[in-house]
Amino acid sequence: LSLLVLISGGGSNLRALLEASSDPGYPARVIAVGSDTEADGLAHAEEFQIPSFTVLPTAFESRAAWGDELLAQIDRWSPDLVVCAGFMRILPPAVVTALAPRIINTHPALLPAFPGAHAVRDALAAGARTTGVTVHVIDEGVDTGPVIVQREIAVLPGDTEHELHERIKVVERELLVQAVRDIAEGLVDLKETAAR
């Protein structure tokens, strides 16, 4: 299964996929990495000698124009699956329509709880005793697509946002690597999941 991974930040989830795909036994390969910024995580792609591209929103007149260019860049690689791993942009509907259901996202909360860009902070602010990680198919909404897999994670007394997020990310990268494996091996059928 060929993967194109989209990132915005440090790329620890990307790195987990790069390491997994270095194992000949793993049924998926990262073929390209895309970002919306000069993300630190692009260094992981460089280290693993995987091509990368950046589509800067500030270079475009509109979100739609940015989305069209992002889609054109993705299509150049014809990936079997697009993985949003810490990608902090909302994809325009045209992009989702073109790629769904072969596009998944990982989110550091138990969706539908705490959608959006500050899931960990929001869970803490809400006094949640547990939160978690969700890998889901992307649909037209924000963090609303059908769930592929979720895992609960305890919130510990005194947790800072960073401490909790780092604990979440340990589980998140395991869950993401496993979810991609399940998709590659046909244990998860994205069309069936999306049709739920």
Classify 49 in phi/psi space as left (phi over 0), alpha (psi -120 to 50) or beta.
left
The torsion defined by the Cα of 94, 77, 191 and 140, in degrees rounded to 10, comes to: -20
Q: Contact, 54 vs 36, CB < 8 A?
A: yes
Instruction: State yes or no: is 165 an active-site residue.
Output: no
The smaller minimum CB distance to ligand GRF, of residues 2 and 37, is found at 37
Query: Total binding residues for ligand GRF by CB under 6 A?
Result: 14
The smaller minimum CB distance to ligand GRF, of residues 37 and 193, is found at 37
Phi and psi at 6, nearest 5°, equal -105, 130
Segment near ligand GRF (CB under 6 A); pick from 63-71, 72-80, 100-108, 152-160: 100-108
First to last CA, the chain: 23
91 is in an annotated binding site: yes
Nearest CA to 151 out of 178, 176, 171 is that of 171
**Sheet of 52-54: strands edge to edge?**
52-54, 29-35, 2-7, 81-84, 103-107, 130-137, 147-154
35 is in an annotated binding site: no
Contact between 34 and ligand GRF per CB under 6 A = no
Q: Which of 34, 41, 79, 132 binds ligand GRF (CB under 6 A)?
A: 41
Q: Which of 74, 106, 135, 148 binds ligand GRF (CB under 6 A)?
A: 106
CB 186 to ligand GRF: min, Å: 25
Token pair listed for 147? 């769930």
Q: Which residue is nearest to ligand GRF (CB)?
A: 86
Q: What is the 3-state secondary structure (H, E, C) of 125-141?
A: HCCCCEEEEEEEECCCC
Q: Which of residues 168-187 bind ligand GRF (CB under 6 A)?
A: 169, 172
Q: Which of residues 64-93 bind ligand GRF (CB under 6 A)?
A: 85-86
Which residues of this protein are in contact with ligand GRF, per CB under 6 A?
A: 7, 9-13, 41, 85-86, 106-108, 169, 172
**Residues taking part in catalysis:** 107
Annotation: binding site for (6R)-10-formyltetrahydrofolate: 63, 88-91, 105
